[in-house]
Amino acid sequence: MFYPVYVHHEPGAAYGITIPDLPGVFSAADEAADIPRMVQEAVETMYEGESAGPGPASPLDRYSQSDEYTGGFWMLIDVDLSKLSTKAVRLNISLPEYLVGRIDEAAAQRRMSRSAYLALAAEHELGGVAGSNPGCSKQSPASLTS
């Protein structure tokens, strides 16, 4: 969903980021190219573990003429709201027996369930942020190879 994002910047300082539709969600970025990523991270952090996600986005003109937002510029940033869902989904997969044994051993060493270990491995392989979802333990990706 595209949210209007207000960005203000002073030379020699980070870009300040405000999302008017999401009170309390703000961030900063050292480089302009990092603004979309920082917006996504800020939204994920604000709504992590919450049962309700952010509300709908407003049209840009709702805020762009406001005296509250002057001296900066506006961007429409696509926030991936699917990353906010923490609902577990049951699935049925088939794996070789020896692999299941290795997974169970590795999970036990880390005091994790099989599901949490597989979720962590999937996050690692997909390039996601390990531990961003409840139930996933923060482990270094290198620890998955042992």
Structure tokens belonging to residue 61: 């003109």
Task: Report pLDDT for 144.
Answer: 47
DSSP 57: P
> In whole angstroms, what is the distance from residue 21 CA to residue 3 CA?
7
Residue 133 and residue 119 in contact, taking contact as beta carbons nearer than 8 Å: yes
Q: Is pLDDT at 146 greater than 60 in this prediction?
A: no
Q: Is pLDDT at 137 greater than 70 in this prediction?
A: no
Q: Tell me the average pLDDT of the chain.
A: 85
More confident residue, 77 or 49: 77
> In whole angstroms, what is the distance from residue 108 CA to residue 97 CA?
17
Residue 56 and residue 31 in contact, taking contact as beta carbons nearer than 8 Å: no
Count the Cβ atoms, other than its own, within 10 Å of residue 110: 16
Q: Is pLDDT at 145 greater than 70 in this prediction?
A: no
Instruction: Using pLDDT thresholds of 50, 70 and 90, give the confidence band for residue 132.
Output: very low
Domains of the chain with CATH codes: 2-84 (3.30.160.250), 97-145 (no CATH)
Q: Is pLDDT at 142 greater than 80 in this prediction?
A: no
Q: What sign does the CA torsion over 121, 122, 127, 131 have?
A: negative
Task: Report pLDDT for 75.
Answer: 96
pTM of the model: 0.60
